[in-house]
Structure 1
């Protein structure tokens, strides 16, 4: 992962043994979502700027940008390479959450599939679509009928800009002309995005 580059990051729950299809949930109750975001902020808040996210019962999405080398060196003065630092922090984050989850629910084995996916975002339209797709994801998977109904996404942070958030909420102005532009584009691209599957593309 490179400085100044935006990435779509996503990861799924592991496929349970003896289950032919589908996957196990990573979030079983509200406290799981809260703890996940708490650990995300702890391990990755000083590594990446987070622009958007969506947590679903068996997978999640983050739209992030890697912080500058100067900022990283202030927090991690001894880090060797950017790649190793980011990989280590993500690994620590996933491990911390999975260990706590396994202990709480008395389960064993890997909670997540082995590797998290990270795709660089190269164009303005791609950034816009990823951002919109995240917030439409609960509708796509039939957990909500409106973006306002799903609690575990960054949509509410943009709707209520005066409230504190883990999101960096100024960078989106490089891609949208404001919240009204986001709403307009979401309506225009709604059906197209609901028919996309950016978890496998």
Structure 2
């Protein structure tokens, strides 16, 4: 079993996931917009986003998890008891989106592969390569 990289305050991560069984995560424009609204609600309070791409059946994010003191300065996080484990914010995003998606399309079951993938970014060169990778992900060469 692959070891899961824990999320840590103040660190940079490449976070990504696919639809279960290559299932589409986004079927229409409104799906993308709704996911981004939920992302703003669940992730923006605990992370800065540097790059992202939402594809039909997967997504990629480049984020820096905020430091604890940055999170504590936000409304509703006046003390450490208000902080959830960092991965829980992402789980809440995926669960909220999945519930709405399944209800709207009258489907059931998991939508995202579990666990969501995350790779810590240790070096500036890797950071740059992930930015390029994310921005070039939707580009397909013409044959």
Q: How does 1:87-98 map to 2 (within 5 A)?
A: 87-98=87-98
User: Secondary structure at 1:138's aligned position in 2?
Assistant: coil
Distance in 2, matches of 1:111 and 1:63, equals: 21
Distance in 1, matches of 2:79 and 2:105, equals: 37
Cα gap change, 1:7 to 1:57, in 2 (>3 Å)? same
State the Cα distance separating 1:24 from its structure 2 match.
0.8
User: 1:9 — aligned with what?
Assistant: 15
Q: Which runs of 5+ in 1 are unaligned?
A: 16-22, 146-201
Q: Name the TM-score, length of structure 2 as normaliser.
A: 0.87
Higher-strand-fraction structure? 2
The answer as to whether partners of 1:49 and 1:67 remain within 8 angstroms in 2 is: yes
Give the count of matched residue pairs: 134
State the Cα distance separating 1:62 from its structure 2 match.
0.4
Higher-helix-fraction structure? 1
Q: Which runs of 4+ in 1 moved over 3 A?
A: 78-82
Cα gap change, 1:42 to 1:30, in 2 (>3 Å)? same
The answer as to whether partners of 1:9 and 1:117 remain within 8 angstroms in 2 is: yes
Q: Of the two structures, which has the highest relative contact order with CA contacts closer than 8 Å and spacing of 6 or more?
A: 2
Cα offsets for 1:91-143 (capped at 9, x unmatched):
1111110000000100011111121111100111100000010010011xx3x
Bigger-Rg structure (1/2): 1
State the Cα distance separating 1:81 from its structure 2 match.
9.2
User: 1:120 — aligned with what?
Assistant: 120
Distance in 2, matches of 1:42 and 1:79, equals: 19
The answer as to whether partners of 2:8 and 2:86 remain within 8 angstroms in 1 is: no
Q: How does 1:21-170 map to 2 (within 5 A)?
A: 23-75=22-74, 76-80=77-81, 84-139=84-139, 142=140
Q: Name the TM-score, length of structure 1 as normaliser.
A: 0.63
